[in-house]
Structure 1
Amino acid sequence: MKRYVATFHTHLAALRSSRSLSAKGIAAQMTPVPRKLSSSCGTCVRYESETPKLEVLDRDTEAVYEDRAGEYTEVYRAET
């Protein structure tokens, strides 16, 4: 399993994504965004999965990063 951190443009998008992941059986936790990353709303969702599960995340997702022991690799960024 890989660990992911998803950032969002709004708190509501983070909440919706957390609920959507949980509904699919993926444990998700809302937390403050790590200092190494930036986010519009300051809230992220951390979860573990084989893939980033972009199709489950809210449309207002800002970016998704793979978390490797505190080193973050961007795997998705919304078009601006």
Structure 2
Amino acid sequence: MEYLATFFTHSGAIKYRKYLNNQGYSVDLMPVPRKVSSNCGIAAKFKFNTDIRLIISDDVEQLYKIEGKEYKLLYKTGEE
């Protein structure tokens, strides 16, 4: 599955990329797509095949599953 995470801060996005890289996952940082809103403007795009709840950190603002050209919201801080 392919996912997109947004963050509260730029440093949070960079820290998250480093965290996933250390877990063996490839992560691309990119501008947040227009269909998605974010506080900091940077998103992380990555593939993950296990329970996605395992990698939600305090830095993640929102988490989306990418389905074609659509983004399905899976997680939003404060709405657990």
Instruction: List gaps (5 residues or longer) in structure 1.
Output: none
Relative to total residues, which structure has the larger helix share, 1 or 2? 2
Runs of 4+ in 1 over 3 A off after TM superposition: 51-58
TM-score, normalised relative to structure 1 = 0.89
Decide whether aligned partners of structure 1 residues 57 and 19 sit closer, same or farther in structure 2, where only a CA change above 3 A counts: farther
Equivalences, count: 79
Matched-pair identity in %: 32
Runs of 5+ consecutive residues of structure 2 not aligned to the other structure: none
- Between the aligned partners of 2:46 and 2:12, the Cα distance in structure 1 is 15
Match of 1:12 in 2: 11
Contact kept in structure 2, 1:20 and 1:56, CA below 8 Å: no
Code of the residue aligned with 1:13 in structure 2: it is G
2:35 corresponds to: 36
Structure 1 counterpart of 2:22:
23
Give distance in 2, aligned partners of 1:62 and 1:27: 20
Alpha-carbon RMSD:
1.6
